[in-house]
Amino acid sequence: MNGRFIFGQRAARAGVAASAAALLVAGAAWYGGAAHAQSSRMATVTTPIAHAIAGGRESYADIVDVASPAVVTIRTDGRAKMSSTQFQVPGDDLFEQFFEGRFGNGRGDGRGNGQRQAPRQRALGSGVIVTTDGYILTNHHVVDGAETISVDLTDGRTLTATLIGSDTPSDLALLKVPGHDFKALALGDSDAVKVGDVVLAVGNPLNIGQTVTMGIISAKGRSTGPGDGSYEDFLQTDAPINHGNSGGALVSMKGELVGINSQILSNGGDGNIGIGFSIPVNMAKSVMEQLRATGKVTRAQLGVTVQGVTSDIAQSLGLKETRGAIVSGVTPGSAADRAGVKRGDVIESFNGQAVHDTNSLRNRVAQSGPGSAADLLIVRDGGERHVTVTLDEANPRVKKG
């Protein structure tokens, strides 16, 4: 299959069809109020709901009642060159893009001459209110290049948002809207999510209005990037996600946010085929906290280039399992170099956590604080040994608001 990864939004013809399956659970539905804002920290939501089917009714309505008000539509406007991954909102400017320079509209002299300015671009995506005082998580690609950002709430209000910070490597951005007592979604634990768990995807696909779809977690730890420096640890889901859902919520059966919807895999790029990807909320929470505190994200760096372990390599090195990351190069003067890591070493675990592949190692290193000590379990010359490294700070690729 020649698949194509789509980062969220691009104009497409919509055909929306969702099939619903039922999950019967006994109990009574409840949910608590949001935590009050404090001057020293964000007004986070900490009380989840317990999913229940009242009177034997097969429904996810109690979860939707909690999640839906926290999911917003984000509309952006700007003159920066729009990424091909954004969903274009139709309008007069779209028409003029095909004929720019031929009309006397300030972009030329009406005859195709003169200096041409970038046309205004409008794009659409989704976002999730994560604190009662108006902080919103969304994708970086939803707001990239925006001059103005508008947020449509489910109660009919439209508010102007401020970009607190945007982190390209994780494709996450943090917005703030004025006000208080917003309906916010509690943050879950994406590490505890299991393959097979039922989830709901909430967003505004194809600008038709807020939509809820249902599916399961199909896989964890997915990476789709072509080695472009992104930090990826996606939750894969078959909950239908389409253009416009980017930045929306992936919600667990506890009514908690477990992922920020980010990408889909599509044969022709025109719609959902049952393979979507969400940024795990644990990664999003870490990025959010740093963006709010400093407007940027700081990550740690080990200073090695690595490659995956194949079955042939594992057999030749006498490894018990086909996992880990082989060190193919060590940067002189780096944390790894100072600790004595050598080319050919196989890193099997990082701080006691198994390294399944190169992506998992990269994510675990990045999420550690620069200057912190880390324990590596490596295989060298057929034997295992522990190496302690003091991590350096990586060169950030961050866009601040």
Q: How far apart are CA 207 and CA 209, in angstroms?
A: 6
- How many percent of the chain have pLDDT more than 70? 71
Structure confidence at residue 401 (pLDDT): 35
Q: How far apart are CA 80 and CA 88, in angstroms?
A: 13
Structure confidence at residue 119 (pLDDT): 59
Structure confidence at residue 58 (pLDDT): 78
Most distant CA pair in the chain, distance: 74
- What distance, in Å, lies between the first and last C-alpha atoms of the chain? 39
Residue 278 sits in the same domain as residue 365: no
Mean pLDDT of the chain: 77
- Backbone dihedral angles phi then psi of residue 123, each to the nearest 5 degrees: -140, 165
> Is it the case that residue 311 has pLDDT exceeding 80?
yes
Q: How far apart are CA 117 and CA 121, in angstroms?
A: 12
The model's confidence at residue 42, banded by pLDDT at 50, 70 and 90, is low
Distance of CA 196 to the CA centre of its chain: 20
> Is it the case that residue 173 has pLDDT exceeding 50?
yes
Residue 152 sits in the same domain as residue 179: yes
Give the mean model confidence (pLDDT) for residues 15-28: 32
Give the mean model confidence (pLDDT) for residues 173-194: 95
What CATH number does the domain containing 251 carry?
2.40.10.120
Structure confidence at residue 339 (pLDDT): 94
Q: How far apart are CA 132 and CA 114, in angstroms?
A: 50
Domain stop point among 297, 326, 347: 297
Domain stop point among 282, 297, 312: 297
Give the mean model confidence (pLDDT) for residues 353-363: 85
Residue 270 sits in the same domain as residue 378: no
> Is it the case that residue 3 has pLDDT exceeding 70?
no
- Which one of 133, 152, 167, 171 is the catalytic residue? 171
What CATH number does the domain containing 344 carry?
2.30.42.10
Q: How far apart are CA 168 and CA 139, in angstroms?
A: 9
- Which one of 246, 262, 266, 360 is the catalytic residue? 246
> Is it the case that residue 122 has pLDDT exceeding 80?
no
Structure confidence at residue 189 (pLDDT): 95
Reported as a single tens digit per residue, the pLDDT across 63-110 is 999 999 999 999 998 754 444 344 444 433 333 333 333 333 443 444
Structure confidence at residue 82 (pLDDT): 43
> Is it the case that residue 31 has pLDDT exceeding 50?
no
- How many percent of the chain have pLDDT more than 90? 45
**Helices H / strands E in the chain, number of each:** 7, 24
Reported as a single tens digit per residue, the pLDDT across 187-210 is 999 999 999 999 999 999 888 889
Domain total in the chain: 2
Check if 141 is active-site.
yes
Contact by Cβ (8 Å): 129, 72: yes
Residue 173 sits in the same domain as residue 224: yes
Higher pLDDT, 209 or 6: 209
Check if 246 is active-site.
yes
Residue 122 sits in the same domain as residue 258: yes
Residue 66 sits in the same domain as residue 136: yes
Higher pLDDT, 90 or 321: 321
Residue 6 sits in the same domain as residue 134: yes
| CA distance readout (Å), 392 to 135, 328, 362 | 30, 19, 13
Q: Name, in order, each residue with C-beta under 8 angstroms of 342's C-beta and a sequence gap of 6 or more.
A: 327, 330, 380
Reported as a single tens digit per residue, the pLDDT across 125-135 is 999 999 999 99
Reported as a single tens digit per residue, the pLDDT across 224-277 is 765 556 788 899 999 888 888 899 999 999 999 999 999 887 676 566 677 889
Residue 293 sits in the same domain as residue 316: no
- DSSP assignment of 90-125: PSHHHHHHTTTTSSSSSSS-SSS-SPPPPPPEEEEE
Higher pLDDT, 42 or 123: 123
The residue whose two tokens read 């190496």 is 387
> Is it the case that residue 359 has pLDDT exceeding 80?
yes
Q: Which of 378, 71, 94, 42 is nearest to 211 (CA)?
A: 71
- Which one of 141, 144, 243, 266 is the catalytic residue? 141
The model's confidence at residue 310, banded by pLDDT at 50, 70 and 90, is confident
- Cα 53–55–56 angle (5° rounding)? 60
Domain stop point among 249, 281, 297: 297
E strand or H helix at 67: helix 61-67
Contact by Cβ (8 Å): 39, 61: no
Total count of residues recorded for the chain:
401
Structure confidence at residue 118 (pLDDT): 54
Give the mean model confidence (pLDDT) for residues 316-330: 87
Q: How far apart are CA 216 and CA 23, in angstroms?
A: 12
Higher pLDDT, 284 or 113: 284
Residue 278 sits in the same domain as residue 304: no
Residue 269 sits in the same domain as residue 318: no
Residue 206 sits in the same domain as residue 195: yes
Is residue 65 classed as helix, strand or coil in its secondary structure? helix
Domain residues for 246? 2-297
Distance of CA 9 to the CA centre of its chain: 14
Neighbours of 221 (CB within 10 A): 15
The model's confidence at residue 313, banded by pLDDT at 50, 70 and 90, is confident
Structure tokens at 35: 């935590």
Check if 36 is active-site.
no
Contact by Cβ (8 Å): 320, 356: no
Residue 293 sits in the same domain as residue 307: no
Structure confidence at residue 388 (pLDDT): 94
Q: Which of 308, 364, 349, 305 is nearest to 329 (CA)?
A: 305
